[in-house]
């Protein structure tokens, strides 16, 4: 059977993020994504000026009620960008309705030391409650610091700092934690912790001299897809990291407008192939 994912995330027209990237990436991996849009935006909020946005807070609960009436089963509940603090409760409603589903929370709040302008203080506070209810969370370094109550500009300087962050995040609730895009000055990697096996992992990657929006969304989608298909955590992290490295390097070679995100479309064949990976290491 094809697995079904309720993907609670926004739909942005320009800039290749959220549902616009999650849908194709997970579809090509052989999974069914059922989008539950939290908002519709003309573009993501990172550099296109004043965007048109329609908040869909009053949509999510009735959509869940419909799925309950239908008896729809989801194998995974996966949340990302939320447009209001109330949407935390709506995500918790999905999680409660599907206790057997894999619960993935990508706590989209911030990047590069700064909260996104759509993410107010109350939403940032409530995101912790949502993260606590998850099986898996995938914060970037800034979001990880915020979930731990540290300053968003906090940067871990050593592998032991990163391991401490992973362990403290897992202590909030989730058995699996992946912190994306760690940069400790001399090395870049994605870092993971699997509490069930008490194992820490890292997947190093080569950084380019440009930042693209939506890469965290692609990472979470590919990681989730890979885990749903039965991959181990390090192999799932490796698949997501390798796909991003390919798409980022492809994009960088064209010198395109970074606001437009990564040219992942031409790299999707990589996700179709079910190759295994050996690029992970113990952290």
Contacts of ligand PXL in 143-172 (CB under 6 A): none
Indicate whether 81 belongs to the interface with ligand PXL (CB under 6 A).
yes
Among 24, 35, 37, 46, binds ligand PXL (CB under 6 A): 46
Segment interacting with ligand PXL (CB under 6 A) among 122-130, 203-211, 213-221, 236-244: 213-221
Least distance to ligand PXL, CB of residue 133, Å: 21
Residue 149 burial by Cβ neighbours in a 10 Å radius (0-12, 13-18, 19+): exposed
State the Cα–Cα distance between residues 283 and 280, nearest whole angstrom: 9
CB of 12 or CB of 226, closer to ligand PXL: 12
State the Cα–Cα distance between residues 109 and 84, nearest whole angstrom: 11
The sign of the CA dihedral 16, 23, 77, 72 is positive
Sequence-distant (6+) residues with CB within 8 A of 245 are 205, 206
Instruction: Determine contact, residues 263/21, Cβ cutoff 8 Å.
Output: no
Segment interacting with ligand PXL (CB under 6 A) among 25-33, 40-48, 248-256, 274-282: 40-48
Alpha-carbon separation of residue 146 from 105, 139, 185 (angstroms):
15, 9, 21
CB of 214 or CB of 234, closer to ligand PXL: 214
State the Cα–Cα distance between residues 35 and 224, nearest whole angstrom: 15
Indicate whether 219 belongs to the interface with ligand PXL (CB under 6 A).
no
Indicate whether 41 belongs to the interface with ligand PXL (CB under 6 A).
yes
Among 48, 59, 116, 154, binds ligand PXL (CB under 6 A): 116
Least distance to ligand PXL, CB of residue 11, Å: 9
Write the DSSP symbol of residue 160: H
Interacting residues with ligand PXL (CB under 6 A) = 10, 12, 17-18, 41, 44-46, 81, 108, 116, 213-214, 216-217
């Amino acid at each position: 059977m094809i697995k079904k994912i309720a993907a609670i995330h926004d739909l942005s027209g320009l800039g290749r993020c959220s549902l616009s990237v999650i849908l194709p990436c997970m579809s090509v991996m052989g999974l069914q994504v059922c989008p539950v849009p939290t908002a519709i935006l003309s573009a993501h909020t990172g550099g296109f000026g004043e965007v048109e946005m329609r908040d869909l807070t009053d949509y999510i609960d009735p959509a869940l009620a419909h799925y309950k009436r239908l008896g729809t089963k989801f194998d995974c509940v996966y949340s990302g960008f939320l447009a209001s603090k109330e949407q935390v409760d709506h995500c918790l409603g999905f999680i409660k309705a599907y206790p057997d589903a894999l619960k993935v929370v990508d706590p989209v709040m911030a990047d590069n030391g700064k909260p996104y302008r759509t993410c107010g203080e109350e939403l940032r506070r409530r995101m912790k409650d949502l993260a606590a209810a998850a099986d898996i969370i995938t914060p970037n370094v800034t979001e990880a610091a915020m979930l731990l109550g540290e300053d968003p500009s906090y940067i871990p300087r050593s592998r032991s700092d990163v391991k401490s962050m992973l362990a403290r995040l897992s202590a909030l609730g989730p058995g699996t934690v992946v912190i994306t895009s760690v940069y400790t000055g001399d090395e870049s990697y994605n870092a993971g912790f699997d509490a069930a096996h008490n194992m820490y992992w890292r997947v190093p990657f080569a950084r380019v001299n440009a930042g693209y929006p939506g890469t965290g969304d692609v990472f979470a989608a590919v990681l989730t897809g890979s885990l749903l298909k039965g991959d181990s955590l390090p192999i799932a992290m490796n698949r997501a990291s390798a796909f991003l490295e390919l798409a980022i390097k492809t994009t960088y070679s064209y010198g395109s407008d970074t606001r437009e995100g990564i040219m992942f479309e031409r790299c999707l064949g990589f996700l179709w192939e079910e190759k295994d990976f050996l690029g992970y290491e113990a952290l």
